[in-house]
């Protein structure tokens, strides 16, 4: 998919518009499976929350992926996309026992991350296989908002609570078939990941009937030129070797699971917006696009970097801009960015817009959420219509106040 394809898509479907390249998603999927080709039983469960459009889920299913879900609605989306219940794992945090029971009843693998619900679920359904999510207390990422394995994290059962956990499992005679960890986004250091893996192996030894070990995700993808990224090939080589050795020691061949979101879809996404206003102030030149953090919140929420290019004037002289949005709130996409000279009406593209972009979009300022387009086998397919005013009013209930005549 080229930049001129993006321009043509914006002309056909309007802007702002999210565009996803199926070829890139497939390439990332294959890169990951190739890196772990020495593992006999490997499973990739795509993390639906990164980009949950049902056509994207179908594409991942076609590639051979399973699904990682965090809510009963994501499970339902997965089923709607044709995933079998047994190809779905449900890894919620802080949900009700009732929701977990409903998902278990659908035949989906459940993953429990706290002792309270583990005990309640185990008491009521001792026969249902359950995976447990542990917190190995390692810092795998840089930003504390997106690192979920450290000591203050709300995720997982602390490894310091293993004795209590074992007592619950023994008392309820429940069936633990998997151990899971997800140390959060952005694995920068493979040795840190391998260290966490050792903790998972140590935990696994306590359970006799395991079927799989789930190492979660957190693979880092590059957001700009020369950005660091997880060396998947190196991780594959080192972890595969260790995993195979562990299975020997354990006495059974286990399945190795990963559940990447960002790694599979981030780079496949391109968000195309149009410049409404170029505004020169005393300190900077603002380019204001027809979008805001209502459509792409990552820069404001996490300080994430999305590379920005001018699609309409790619060869123009580069100048410095602050690219901001149109909502009534500070919504900076990028400060002091070198971009080919911008004129009002130009199309700007934000790269790495596949993961946690549309799926975090809102109607703030009563704006419509953008359309989504999948570029597949050389053709653009609309996979979500742009919203309309009916969508804004949908579900709102008007009260019939008695009319007061205006003064
Ligand atoms: C969000 C999430 C993932 C995916 O994380 P990425 O950084 O997008 O790869 C995997 N597993 C669980 C349990 C998650 O909550």
Check whether 300 has a pLDDT greater than 70: yes
Whole-number average pLDDT of the chain: 94
d(CA 8, CA 362): 26
Q: What is the mean pLDDT of residues 245-254?
A: 97
Average pLDDT over residues 83-96: 97
Instruction: Tell me which residues are annotated as active site.
Output: 328
Domain ranges of the chain: 22-264, 269-383
| d(C-alpha 274, C-alpha 344), whole Å | 8
Residues 6+ apart with CB under 8 A from 235: 35, 187, 190, 193
185 within ligand 1 shell (Cβ under 6 A): yes
pLDDT category at 210 given cuts 50, 70, 90 is very high
State residue 193's pLDDT score: 85
Is the beta carbon of 155 within 6 A of some atom in ligand 1? Answer: no
What pLDDT is recorded for position 188? 66
Give the residue, 334 or 186, on which the prediction is more confident. Answer: 334
Measured distance CA(21)–CA(377) in Å, rounded = 9
User: Tokens 């696994």 — which residue?
Assistant: 204
From 60, 66, 68, 193, the mutation candidate for ligand 1 (largest count of ligand atoms within 8 A of CB) is 68
For 302-322, the pLDDT digits (tens) are 999 999 999 999 999 999 999
Mind listing the pLDDT tens digit for each residue in 26-41? Answer: 999 999 999 999 999 9
Give one DSSP letter per residue of 248-286, joined into a string.
Answer: HHHTS-PEEEE--SHHHHTTTEEEEEEEEEEEE-SS-EE
Highest mean pLDDT among 140-144, 162-166, 191-195: 162-166
Atom of ligand 1 nearest to the CA of 260: 9
| DSSP state string for 35-48 | HTTTSSSEEEEEEG
With beta carbons less than 8 A apart as the criterion, state whether 275 and 326 touch. Answer: no
Q: Mapping DSSP to helix (H, G, I), strand (E, B) and coil, where does residue 102 land?
A: helix
Q: Is the pLDDT of residue 407 over 90?
A: no
Residue 163 has pLDDT above 80, yes or no: yes
> How many angstroms does the Cα of residue 186 sit away from the middle of ligand 1?
10
191 contacts 157 by C-beta, under 8 angstroms: no
Q: How far is the CA of 48 from the centre of ligand 1 (A)?
A: 9
Confidence of residue 204 (pLDDT cuts 50, 70, 90): very high
Q: Is the pLDDT of residue 242 over 90?
A: yes
Nearest alpha carbon, ligand 1 atom 4: 261
Give the angle 395-400-403 at the CA atoms, nearest 5°. Answer: 140
Q: Point out the ligand 1 atom lying closest to the alpha carbon of residue 49.
A: 1
Both structure tokens of 237: 């080589």
What does R_g of the chain's alpha carbons equal in angstroms? Answer: 23
pLDDT range class, residue 189, cuts 50, 70, 90: confident
pLDDT of residue 150: 63
Rounded to the nearest angstrom, the distance between the alpha carbon of 336 and the centre of ligand 1 is: 31
Ligand 1 pocket residue status of 384, Cβ below 6 Å: no
Going from the Cα of 260 to the center of ligand 1, the distance in angstroms, rounded, reads 6
Q: pLDDT confidence of 140, banded at 50, 70, 90?
A: low
Structure tokens at 243: 């995993």
Question: What is the rounded distance in angstroms from the CA atom of residue 291 to the CA atom of residue 370?
Answer: 9
Residues 6+ apart with CB under 8 A from 270: 1, 6, 18, 19, 20, 21, 349, 350, 351, 353
Assess contact for 310 and 348: CB atoms under 8 A: yes
Mutation pick for ligand 1 pocket among 112, 185, 229 (CB with most ligand atoms within 8 Å): 185
Please say if the pLDDT value at position 250 is more than 70.
yes
Q: How far is the CA of 218 from the centre of ligand 1 (A)?
A: 6
Instruction: Provide the pLDDT confidence category of residue 145 given band limits of 50, 70 and 90.
Output: very low
Best residue among 28, 181, 200, 259 to mutate for probing ligand 1, ranked by most atoms within 8 Å of CB: 259
Structure tokens, 395: 């579900």
Q: Given pLDDT bands bounded at 50, 70 and 90, which one contains residue 151?
A: low
- State the Cα–Cα distance between residues 156 and 92, nearest whole angstrom: 10
Joined tokens for residue 151: 């000591």
Q: Give the mean pLDDT of 176-197.
A: 83
In whole angstroms, give the CA distance from residue 214 to residue 307. 32
Residues 242 and 194 sit within 8 Å (Cβ to Cβ): yes
Average pLDDT over residues 176-205: 87
Q: What average pLDDT does range 49-62 have in this prediction?
A: 98
Check residue 315 and give its pLDDT.
Answer: 97
Q: Is the pLDDT of residue 230 over 90?
A: no
Residue pair 205/155 in contact (Cβ under 8 Å)? The answer is no
What is the token pair recorded at 347? 């199309």
Quick: pLDDT tens for 262-273: 999 999 999 999
pLDDT band at 280 (very low <50, low <70, confident <90, very high): very high
- At residue 218, the pLDDT reads 80
pTM of the model: 0.95
Q: Looking at the CA of residue 91, tell me the nearest atom of ligand 1.
A: 13
> CA-to-CA distance for 208 and 398, rounded, in angstroms?
58
User: Quick check: 181 and 218 in contact, CB under 8 A?
Assistant: no
Q: Which residues contact residue 259 at a Cβ distance below 8 angstroms, ignoring those fewer than 6 apart? A: 44, 45, 46, 47, 68, 89, 91, 182, 214, 216, 217
- Four-way CATH pick for 269-383: 2.40.37.10, 3.40.190.10, 3.40.50.1370, 2.102.10.10: 2.40.37.10
Confidence of residue 294 (pLDDT cuts 50, 70, 90): very high
pLDDT band (50, 70, 90) for residue 391: very high
- For the structural domain made of 22-264, what CATH number should be given? 3.20.20.10
354 lines ligand 1 (CB under 6 A): no
Read off the pLDDT band of 143 (50, 70, 90): very low
Compute the distance from residue 321 Cα to the ligand 1 centre, in Å: 33
Ligand 1 proximity of 47 Cβ (cutoff 6 Å): yes
The contacts of residue 62 (CB under 8 Å, 6+ apart) are none
Q: Whose CA is nearest to atom 2 of ligand 1?
A: 47
| Nearest alpha-carbon partner for 295 in 319, 269, 320 | 269
Mean pLDDT along residues 151-159? 84
pLDDT band at 51 (very low <50, low <70, confident <90, very high): very high
């Amino acid at each position: 998919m080229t930049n001129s394809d993006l321009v043509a898509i914006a002309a056909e479907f309007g802007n702002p518009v999210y565009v996803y390249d199926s070829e890139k998603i497939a390439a990332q999927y294959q890169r990951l499976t190739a890196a772990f080709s020495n593992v006999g039983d490997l499973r990739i469960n795509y993390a639906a929350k990164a980009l949950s459009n049902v056509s994207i889920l179908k594409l991942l299913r076609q590639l051979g992926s399973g699904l990682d879900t965090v809510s009963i609605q994501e499970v339902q989306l997965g089923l709607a996309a044709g995933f079998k219940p047994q190809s779905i794992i449900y890894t919620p945090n802080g949900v009700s026992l009732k929701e977990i029971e409903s998902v278990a009843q659908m035949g989906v693998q459940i993953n429990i991350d706290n002792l309270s619900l583990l005990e309640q679920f185990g008491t009521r359904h001792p026969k249902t296989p359950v995976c447990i999510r542990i917190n190995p207390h390692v810092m795998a990422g840089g930003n504390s908002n997106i690192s979920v394995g450290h000591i203050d994290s709300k995720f997982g059962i602390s490894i310091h609570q293993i004795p209590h956990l074992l007592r619950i499992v023994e008392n309820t005679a429940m069936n633990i078939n998997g151990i899971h960890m997800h140390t959060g986004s952005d694995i920068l250091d493979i040795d840190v990941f391998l260290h966490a893996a050792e903790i998972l192996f140590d935990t696994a030894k306590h359970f006799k009937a395991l079927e799989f070990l789930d190492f979660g995700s957190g693979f880092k993808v590059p957001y700009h030129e020369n950005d660091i990224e997880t060396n998947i090939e190196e991780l594959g080589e080192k972890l595969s070797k260790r995993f195979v050795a562990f299975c020997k020691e354990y006495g059974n061949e286990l399945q190795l699971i990963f559940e990447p979101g960002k790694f599979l879809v981030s780079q496949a996404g391109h968000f195309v917006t149009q410049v409404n206003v170029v505004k020169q102030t005393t300190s900077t030149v603002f380019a204001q696009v027809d979008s805001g953090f209502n459509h792409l919140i990552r820069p404001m929420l996490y300080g994430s970097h999305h590379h920005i290019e001018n699609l309409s004037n790619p060869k123009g002289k580069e100048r410095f801009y602050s690219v901001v949005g149109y909502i009534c709130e500070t919504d900076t996409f990028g400060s002091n960015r070198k971009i080919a000279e911008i004129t009002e009406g130009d199309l700007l593209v934000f790269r790495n817009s596949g993961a946690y972009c549309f799926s975090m979009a809102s109607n703030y300022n009563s704006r419509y959420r953008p359309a989504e387009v999948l570029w597949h086998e050389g053709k653009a397919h609309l996979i979500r219509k742009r919203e309309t005013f009916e969508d804004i009013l949908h579900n709102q209930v008007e009260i019939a106040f008695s009319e007061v005549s205006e003064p």
